[in-house]
A and B are shown apart, each in its own frame.
Chain A
């Protein structure tokens, strides 16, 4: 077992761009929660190579890193903030949902908007209380639909990836609902099933909106690459269904 403390020291002592990159990669590889503060600090170093490695390390650590990243968002260092949002997008913890929703339609940087769009398709919905899931999914859907009209092709592309991810998680939630509803006859439905029934009906509404938008983009986007990505999303979703 590698000693995390000595790997952290190596990051702090690195005196060249390449040295820092190597040290961060080594630290990221151990996936230790003890590395979180150091990896977050690296996001502010203005060293893209090291930042990519640090983001990857934080994503691999996952949920335990989220509160620390949220508490240490650097309002005065734009680069660091952008990297933090990339890490949160990669992890997909719903704690970051509000931040991602603000970023996807409102951030001035296309690289933040695209990361947030991808992240919104990657939310770990099972971490939310079940009664909140559907309303939040609806909000995410609206934000992603808006992002498919972004002026930057890469944000529209990422929004399609996000919509594809959301569609897949909607199906997951739907299967869950179906299994609960399927087990009880309607006449003697329990409270849980009564609460879930509207969710089941709403599912069709949300997924239909996604398919409709993808079909639209597949023919109407000005960029052939964006049209191709929409087509690929549709093909993936149809396979998923079948």
Chain B
């Protein structure tokens, strides 16, 4: 997978906000919500329009879902405006799974601890309740997004609730739990769980573990990341996460042996 940025569309900030605010063309609204997030338009008017879009009733998918709300939630996660926190918390109760998922991811990016209790509530019933919805390609809750958010938000009060999910039957949920547990406890066993995932047979799962290791900056994973079978682009992003973690707290101008070892690995993947 190549990670590329596409050429900017012929929208301007004013035009995108206008497109999002009008009611006639649902396609234009949907696209405008995505565009504002993509190009990090942080103007107050853009936030206002996205918050209104978060309550939209017009745009409905054949499955009963709310496409515009999903896009609005994703965009608000990228714009860093904390006015979105309470409205996004409300979205966690919304019937559309993908709105809940987008809201959990957005709340993770916004990094506001107010969202912790509502996220914890979605883990009600624990692993036993975390089963698939008949006829849908997803579980009853967006567990990956919820657990990753709790880890990033430093929700240590959720540790005992998250731990059992490291044994969930779905690998990606396991990894999300291992990632969060590492963030919350710093215990090696969870980092090792993710390293083990790099040896698996499924490329998608190896990619997923690469992103998780990069996100938590599990420094001992350096060699395993460099050696796993996946695209160099993804390995480099993952190692960059490790390097950033290892540089944290150092004075700029200093380099440790660990910093240099990680850069050596990155050099070899260019």
A contact set with B: CB distance below 8 Å: 21, 48-49, 52, 108-111, 114-115, 117-118, 151, 153-154, 157-158, 161, 219, 223-225, 227-229, 231-232, 235
**Surface stretch bound by A, among B64-72, B85-93, B227-235:** B227-235
Whether B255 lies near A232 (C-beta < 8 A) is yes
Does chain A have a CB within 8 A of B10?
no
Question: Residue on B with the closest CB to A155?
Answer: B270
Residues on A with C-beta less than 8 A from B247 are: 224-225, 228
Whether B270 lies near A117 (C-beta < 8 A) is yes
Whether B263 lies near A228 (C-beta < 8 A) is yes
Whether B4 lies near A49 (C-beta < 8 A) is no
**Surface stretch bound by A, among B34-42, B54-62, B236-244:** B236-244
Whether A229 lies near B233 (C-beta < 8 A) is no
Known: A110-B4, A151-B5, A154-B236. A224 touches B229 (CB 8 A): no
CA–CA, A49 and B243, complex, Å = 25
Whether A228 lies near B243 (C-beta < 8 A) is yes
Whether A110 lies near B233 (C-beta < 8 A) is yes
Q: What would 26 A/B residue contacts be, using CB atoms closer than 8 Å? A: A49-B229, A52-B232, A110-B3, A110-B4, A111-B231, A111-B232, A111-B233, A114-B270, A115-B270, A153-B240, A154-B236, A154-B237, A154-B240, A157-B270, A161-B267, A223-B240, A224-B244, A224-B252, A225-B240, A225-B243, A225-B244, A225-B247, A228-B259, A231-B252, A232-B259, A232-B263
Whether B263 lies near A229 (C-beta < 8 A) is yes
Chain B window 136-171, contacts with chain A (Cβ cutoff 8 Å), 1 for yes, 0 for no: 000000000000000000000000000000000000
The prevalent SS among residues of A at the interface is: helix
CA–CA, A224 and B253, complex, Å = 11
Does chain A have a CB within 8 A of B63?
no
B contact set with A: CB distance below 8 Å: 2-5, 229-233, 236-237, 240, 243-244, 247, 252-253, 255, 259-260, 263, 266-267, 270
Residues on A with C-beta less than 8 A from B243 are: 225, 228
Whether B270 lies near A118 (C-beta < 8 A) is yes
Residues on B with C-beta less than 8 A from A108 are: 4
Question: Residue on A with the closest CB to B6?
Answer: A108
CA–CA, A33 and B227, complex, Å = 27
Residues on B with C-beta less than 8 A from A231 are: 252-253, 255
Whether A109 lies near B2 (C-beta < 8 A) is yes
Whether A161 lies near B233 (C-beta < 8 A) is no
CB distance from A24 to the nearest CB of B (A): 13
Residues on A with C-beta less than 8 A from B231 are: 48, 111
Whether B255 lies near A110 (C-beta < 8 A) is no
CB distance from B215 to the nearest CB of A (A): 15
CA–CA, A66 and B231, complex, Å = 24
Known: A48-B231, A110-B2, A110-B3. A235 touches B255 (CB 8 A): yes
CB distance from B244 to the nearest CB of A (A): 6
CB distance from A110 to the nearest CB of B (A): 7
CA–CA, A52 and B267, complex, Å = 15
CB distance from A184 to the nearest CB of B (A): 40
Question: Residue on A with the closest CB to B252?
Answer: A227
Question: Residue on A with the closest CB to B231?
Answer: A48
Whether B5 lies near A154 (C-beta < 8 A) is no
Question: Residue on B with the closest CB to A89?
Answer: B270
CB distance from A225 to the nearest CB of B (A): 5
Whether B4 lies near A154 (C-beta < 8 A) is no
Neighbour of A109 across the interface among B4, B236, B240, B244, CB < 8 A: B4
Question: Residue on A with the closest CB to B242?
Answer: A225
Question: Residue on B with the closest CB to A121?
Answer: B270
CA–CA, A231 and B229, complex, Å = 30
CA–CA, A225 and B253, complex, Å = 12
Known: A110-B2, A228-B255, A235-B255. A157 touches B233 (CB 8 A): no
Question: Residue on B with the closest CB to A164?
Answer: B267
Question: Residue on A with the closest CB to B201?
Answer: A18
